Amino acid sequence: AQSVTQPDIHITVSEGASLELRCNYSYGATPYLFWYVQSPGQGLQLLLKYFSGDTLVQGIKGFEAEFKRSQSSFNLRKPSVHWSDAAEYFCAVGATDSWGKLQFGAGTQVVVTP
Amino acid sequence: NAGVMQNPRHLVRRRGQEARLRCSPMKGHSHVYWYRQLPEEGLKFMVYLQKENIIDESGMPKERFSAEFPKEGPSILRIQQVVRGDSAAYFCASSPNGNRQETQYFGPGTRLLVL
């Protein structure tokens, strides 16, 4: 069965420091991978997605992610975080058994300190 | 182009009452997905609908929950005889064609509180 794991429940980072959020997946075929961000009380916004081609994907708000098939990972990075990046981040994979259904990780809460 | 709209944003119900959650997809989108987010958890898929059709309801509880997406009007998620465990945020997403590569655009969610 496919699964998505975000090992870090909570990360605290200083403003201006770099950020990396981990995502591991278990999947039988070529995965369709997504990163979403959720601000408090809001819906989810897509940061970036990967389904083929260049394994380094650029997204909005200065985020990027790298697909590593050998490690079954799709980690999200940002070189320098801003206070507005404080939010919850979800990794998701497109399901094999249903067009369009997304399976989400449990999320990583990011806190940005001054 | 308005985004995905959900109403109400907050809903309070007493145990045993019915909850009706509405979702209007983005203009031009005919595929709707419902997800539930329990406190401190990620989103869990519930149901995937196309106009007048349920495509995948594998994530729906077997009892009390139903969903529809009529030819005209919003998609409705209906929860009958609510219990405290139904308290959660319910998110709707839409996409144009249901293709796995497509972005799903999420609404702001309905936060249901069952007293």
Question: Mind listing the pLDDT tens digit for each residue in B35-73?
Answer: 999 887 889 999 999 999 999 999 999 999 999 999 999
- Best B104, B105, B110, B111 member to test A by mutation, with max A CBs in 10 Å, is B104
Contact A102 B104 (CB under 8 A): yes
Average pLDDT over residues A78-94: 95
Beta bridge partner(s), residue B86: none
What was the pLDDT predicted at A94?
A: 85
Which pLDDT band holds residue B90 (cuts at 50, 70, 90)?
A: very high
- Binding-site residues on chain A for chain B (CB distance < 8 A): 6, 32, 34, 36, 41-46, 49, 51, 90, 92, 94-95, 97-107
In order of A42, A59, B19, B22, B68, the CA distances from B65 in angstroms are 24, 36, 10, 14, 11
Which residue is associated with the tokens 């308005």?
Answer: B2
What's chain A's average pLDDT? 91
Residue B84: both structure tokens together: 């405290």
The pLDDT of residue B89 is above 90: yes
The pLDDT of residue B1 is above 70: no
Express as a percent the part of chain A with pLDDT over 90.
71
In order of A49, B23, B27, B57, B108, the CA distances from B3 in angstroms are 19, 11, 8, 24, 9
A54 Cα to chain B: minimum distance (Å) = 15
What was the pLDDT predicted at A97?
A: 62
